[in-house]
Structure 1
Amino acid sequence: MALSSLLNPNLFLVPSSLSPLHSPSTRSLAITCGPRDNRGPLQRGRTLSTEAILAVQALKRAALSGDGAVPSPAAAAAALGRLLKPDLLAALAELQRQGRWRLALVVFAAARRETWYTNPDFSLYAEMASAMARGAAAAEEIDALVAELLEEKEGSGGFSPSDDVWKLTRLVRVLIAAGRGEAVRDLYKRMKRGGCVGDEYLFRVLIRGLRRLGEGEAAGEVERDFDEWYEGGIITETLPV
């Protein structure tokens, strides 16, 4: 074949009537892309935004410039005042992970003043108490945290049957692991007063935990409540205070 014929632009053209693009039997195909790798989802609180990183660093610098424990209220407000909810919670989790529980308390207090924080969150209190216990906080400091929770709960209407039992159980387990029997007793009394009695698992955790902490009388009270009022997996009425 001559070179001139190879360069002829009309040599390999297909008539429009025979073109596959114009064939009535041709169907469009949807192309989907599979996963690009095997990485799992990002873990909440472990990937910090730039704002959260800067806030954590600012709190540490402010603490060093003061007494070395916590920054001044003005410095804390400057570091945390413009953070959005995800960044504030991420900074809180990061300080807890680093064992800087005193700084984490500053962030926790700031979070509780935000407009989106409308009801005490048992899981946030549980994580805070756990960080304090790991950091060898004094027993009185953990008890003070629980007292703040109880006061905050009373201010929002008190305990109720609609409270999140799973989160509450998490908090009870943390307090038992920290050896805070008195705080567990106070928490259970407020639960009973508000009609929040939990489920069978929470009762078991309370009974075993209180006994392990040497709180036999309180454990007996919880066990009597369980035997008297928990029938067939259903709480029949509010427990007596």
Structure 2
Amino acid sequence: MASSLHSNLTFLHPFLKPNPITTQSTNFHHIPIRCGPRSNRGPLVKGRILSIEAIQAIQSLKRAQKTNSLSPSYPSLSRLLKADLLAALRELLRQGECAIGLHVFSVIRAEYPDQDLGLLADMISALGKNGMGDEIDRLIDELEEIDGGDEKGLLRVIKGVIGTGSKASTIRICEVMKRSGVGSGWKVDECVGKVLSKGLRGFGEFDLANEVEREFCWDFRGNLENSVV
């Protein structure tokens, strides 16, 4: 226990204990013993700390799944803040509890309608690792709009879908992107366009791949020529 205390405790050397009779008139030396640090643990990783509420919700959801009593209105999630919901979801995905994770994900999307492409990409990655391709297709089929401000999240979603080999979901992403104004209102980053185009070609959708390159991506050479003129 002493090695775990972080203090500057001082102990008398057993052979240097003063004579009680001459304590007041005799000076004696002592040997300081410094205890080491509390532990060798590194700093805590941001985002990996779960609140008590999140831990209790995860445990409750697991029990409900075992008893087949998990429902969309399961009460353990209603009292959680958004940060706790996100932390609980990521912990469930880390544990491979994708079925329960889908339940939490649906609650988050219902209470916070703004699309988080990064969170969707996390779901796709976890589902892909667990061979749940049908669930990935369902999530993409429910995707209504894509925000042009999160191209990093969009790229991860596209890579995840293509990685599962789902041609239908890849085409669906193209449709949602076009409906969201890609090509007419804003252009995607060149890397996003290349990955999407390459994936479509791998599925044999050459015409759609050409359309993506033509309509979705920036034509840097054309923009440069126009700026010179």
Fold match (TM-score > 0.5): yes
Q: 1:112 Cα shift?
A: 1.5
**Residue 230 (structure 1) aligns with:** 219
Q: 1:97 Cα shift?
A: 1.1
Which letter does structure 2 place at the counterpart of 1:217? D
Q: Distance in 1 between matches of 2:219 and 2:40?
A: 50
* Alignment equivalent of 1:192, drawn from 167, 170, 178: 178
Alpha-carbon contact 1:80-1:88 (below 8 Å) kept:
yes
Q: Evaluate the alpha carbon distance shift between residue 81 and residue 193 of structure 1 in structure 2; reply closer, same or farther with a 3 A threshold.
A: closer
Q: Distance in 1 between matches of 2:138 and 2:45?
A: 34
Alpha-carbon contact 2:50-2:84 (below 8 Å) kept:
yes
Q: 1:48 Cα shift?
A: 1.5
Q: 1:135 Cα shift?
A: 1.1
Asked if residue 53 in structure 1 is aligned to residue 38 in structure 2, the reply is no
Q: Distance in 1 between matches of 2:114 and 2:223?
A: 26
Q: What is the number of residues matched between the two proteins?
A: 184
Query: Residue 73 of structure 1: SS of its match in structure 2?
Result: coil
What TM-score, normalized to structure 2?
0.70
Q: 1:40 Cα shift?
A: 4.0
Asked if residue 183 in structure 1 is aligned to residue 183 in structure 2, the reply is no
* Unmatched tracts of structure 2, length 5 or more: 1-38, 225-229
Q: Identity, % of aligned pairs?
A: 41
Q: Distance in 2 between matches of 1:124 and 1:52?
A: 17
* Alignment equivalent of 1:108, drawn from 81, 105, 115: 105
CA-based RMSD: 2.7
Q: 1:233 Cα shift?
A: 8.5
Q: 1:225 Cα shift?
A: 3.2
What TM-score, normalized to structure 1?
0.67
Q: 1:71 Cα shift?
A: 1.1
Alpha-carbon contact 1:176-1:213 (below 8 Å) kept:
no
Q: Distance in 2 between matches of 1:126 and 1:232?
A: 32
Q: Deviations over 1:130-181 (max 9, x none)?
A: 11111111x332111111122xx3xxxxx46x43212111111111111122
Asked if residue 92 in structure 1 is aligned to residue 78 in structure 2, the reply is no
* Alignment equivalent of 1:143, drawn from 137, 145, 164: 137
Q: Distance in 2 between matches of 1:185 and 1:234?
A: 28
Asked if residue 82 in structure 1 is aligned to residue 79 in structure 2, the reply is yes
Which letter does structure 2 place at the counterpart of 1:73? P
* Unmatched tracts of structure 1, length 5 or more: 1-35, 154-158, 236-241
Query: Residue 131 of structure 1: SS of its match in structure 2?
Result: helix
Query: Residue 166 of structure 1: SS of its match in structure 2?
Result: helix
Asked if residue 170 in structure 1 is aligned to residue 156 in structure 2, the reply is yes
Q: Distance in 2 between matches of 1:226 and 1:193?
A: 12
Q: Distance in 2 between matches of 1:231 and 1:189?
A: 24
* Alignment equivalent of 1:42, drawn from 30, 42, 45: 45
Asked if residue 204 in structure 1 is aligned to residue 167 in structure 2, the reply is no
